[in-house]
Structure 1
Amino acid sequence: MVTSNTTNMPANARVTLCYGPYESSGVVKHRTSRLQGLQAALRARGHRCVLEETPEWNTVEVIVSGETVFSCDIKQLEFGGDGKLDPVCIEAVSAVEKAY
């Protein structure tokens, strides 16, 4: 579990998740199922998530105040879930909270 001091964090901070298409079952398209855990983990910490499609294949970028604070291959994120046990989600949430 990520722990940090959130007293400096603005209420309802906006976090943009830019995500690209990836291949699954032979079909390449934008999918949000691998973003569910990351969204849940960020919302649990009081952030508002905005999803934005990008043409960059296999990528996720986490943007705070116009700055990319974390990025990874979308396939590194666990499928579905709440993000609490996904080490990549934990790392992304930590990066967001360090951005303030």
Structure 2
Amino acid sequence: MPKNALVIIRYGPYSSVGLSVEHRTYRLEGLLAVLAKDGHSVILEKIEDWNVVELMVNGEVVFHCNIKDLEFGSDGKLDPLCEEARIAVLNAY
């Protein structure tokens, strides 16, 4: 996939440290940073499935994981899931 792809990140609500279940983007920061560095445009889309993150390119889900498995407030450089997602977007076509 060339740079400047449109990536839709679909994410669901999750509970953090005993707080109520809500849509939060703190765990998506590393993913957003990695995709922006590669030159991709990103749209965030809330979904109702708990603990889910899906990356869509050209209408297909190319990566998914549990949102709680992403590092909190990360820059994405050391998070293996961010690297896996980055590669999945680059290979999507």
TM-score (norm 2): 0.94
Between structure 1 and structure 2, the one with the greater Rg is 1
CA shift for structure 1 position 52: 0.2
CA shift for structure 1 position 47: 0.4
Unaligned runs of 5+ in 2: none
> Residue 21 of structure 2 aligns to a residue in which SS?
strand
Identity of aligned residues (%): 57
Is 2:7 aligned against 1:15? yes
Instruction: Identify which of 38, 50, 53 aligns with 1:57.
Output: 50
Identify the residue that residue 35 of structure 2 maps to in structure 1: 42
Q: CA RMSD in A?
A: 1.0
CA shift for structure 1 position 80: 0.9
Identify the residue that residue 95 of structure 1 maps to in structure 2: 88
CA distance in 1, matches of 2:22, 2:36: 25
CA distance in 2, matches of 1:12, 1:98: 13
> Residue 70 of structure 1 aligns to a residue in which SS?
strand
Is 2:92 aligned against 1:84? no
Unaligned runs of 5+ in 1: 1-7
Please list every run of at least 4 consecutive aligned residues from structure 1 whose deviation after the TM superposition is greater than 6 angstroms.
Answer: none
Q: Which string of whole-angstrom CA distances, capped at 9 and with x for unpartnered residues, describes residues 7-35 of structure 1?
A: x50x4211000000001133100000000
